[in-house]
Amino acid sequence: MKIAIKVRIKPTEEQESLLWQSAGTARWAYNWCLNKQIENHVSGEKFIQDGILRKELTQLKKTEQYKWLNNVSAQIPKQAIKDCCKAYISFFNKKTKFPNFKSRKKSKPSFFIDSYTVETNSDSILIEKIGWLILAEKDRLLIKSKKIKYYNPRVTYDGKYWYIAVAIDVIANLQKLEKKSLGIDLGLKSFAVCSDGKVFKNINKSKKVKKVEKKLKRLQRKVSRKYNLNKKGETFVKTSNIIKEEKKVRLVYRKLRNIRNNYLHQTSSAIVKTKPSRIVMENLNVRGMMKNKHLSKAISQQNFSKFKGYVKYKSELNSIDFVSADRFFPSSKLCSNCGNIKKDLKLSDRTYVCSICGLVIDRDINASINLSNYETANNIVTIKT
């Protein structure tokens, strides 16, 4: 399987200027390709293959108007076109939403680099037309060789630092696993409840996160007041002070994102380290859950889909079977003792009381036990009791 390694890079002022230029070229090429596809679709023509658009771009680079495209690596705009075409096809295959044009202000600066041109040593990496860039962590990025190949190298900017991410091939760890099935129930009261009794708290209810969120609200109010003070008619004037305050807001958002992402990694690693032979998680309809206006913000902060992805790849890396339970499997309504389904169970009922066998158990623990007993055979759901 493949895993990604992400390392911070430390560019000089000149190199950072080239990084911004490369990111801007990738954004322009993506928007140019998307505009071409939309115009072609409106006129009733068929989808334009990325190969045709890449050849057209090569011809554009020879003109005086688009001569600036030669200042960056040729693979950067070409890969951006390929990414755009892939997103466009995914929409018509009903896999994703329609791709949006990338905004200079809102989109995440990033670009692709050709793995064949990349060279590395213990503390630096060579990027075409940018030069050798110092890595913040020595020996973190495995040195490229005949045995170690890089896949899909990407350079990104998170609002404060630049990063390089590459994918490499790894072999799954063969280890002795306990013959047990571990069910994981996700929720808002507690982030994750495992069938072995372990409970992982909701990080968004901690003092650390609440303190950062309070700071965020204060900064947002400050920005709003500055906009109102600089209002001219129906338009707002964006002053230098507003730009400075908005940068502070973005950095606070970055801090919140890093805190939550770090917690997801810690929780998923703690679960995998128990070494169960199988992990079962429910396939939540997050999009449907987000329609509840009272809980939508709390649900979005939990990052259930990202957490499930972390558990899945770490399970595969440690030779643990990962099972995604059917979306309509009644894990909360099912009695883990006798198999009775309690149809009138409400969301406010935090304790499960079975009317048949008299079982009294916490709702989330009951759901995690049912998930641990989940089995599928020939697409028919069966329950171990």
- Give the pLDDT confidence of 226-267 residue by residue, as tens digits: 999 988 878 888 899 999 999 999 999 999 999 999 999 999
**Confidence at 349, pLDDT banded by 50, 70, 90:** confident
- SS3 assignment, position 376: strand
Average pLDDT over residues 212-216: 96
Distance in angstroms between the alpha carbons of the first and the last residue of the chain: 35
What pTM did the predictor assign? 0.86
* Cβ-contact 127, 15 below 8 angstroms: no
**Confidence at 287, pLDDT banded by 50, 70, 90:** confident
DSSP states along 231-255: EETTEE---HHHHHHHHHHHHHHHH
Alpha carbon separation from 249 to 40, 107, 243, 362 (Å, rounded): 40, 16, 10, 40
Average pLDDT over residues 279-297: 89
Q: What is the rounded distance in angstroms from the CA atom of residue 59 to the CA atom of residue 77?
A: 13
pLDDT above 70 covers a percentage of the chain that reads 97
Helix and strand counts by DSSP (H, E) for the chain: 9, 18
Model confidence pLDDT, tens digit, residues 39-80: 999 998 889 999 999 999 999 999 999 999 999 999 999 999
**Confidence at 146, pLDDT banded by 50, 70, 90:** low
Which residue has better confidence, 375 or 169?
Answer: 169
* Cβ-contact 27, 107 below 8 angstroms: yes
Beta-strand runs (E) in the chain: 2-10, 110-112, 119-120, 124-127, 131-135, 151-157, 162-169, 178-186, 190-194, 199-201, 231-232, 235-236, 276-282, 321-325, 351-353, 360-362, 374-377, 380-383
Q: What is the rounded distance in angstroms from the CA atom of residue 192 to the CA atom of residue 175?
A: 25
DSSP states along 84-142: HHHHHHHHHTTSSPPPPPPPTTTSPPEEE--TTT-EE-SSEEEETTTEEEEESSTT-SP
* Cβ-contact 138, 122 below 8 angstroms: yes
Res 385: pLDDT: 41
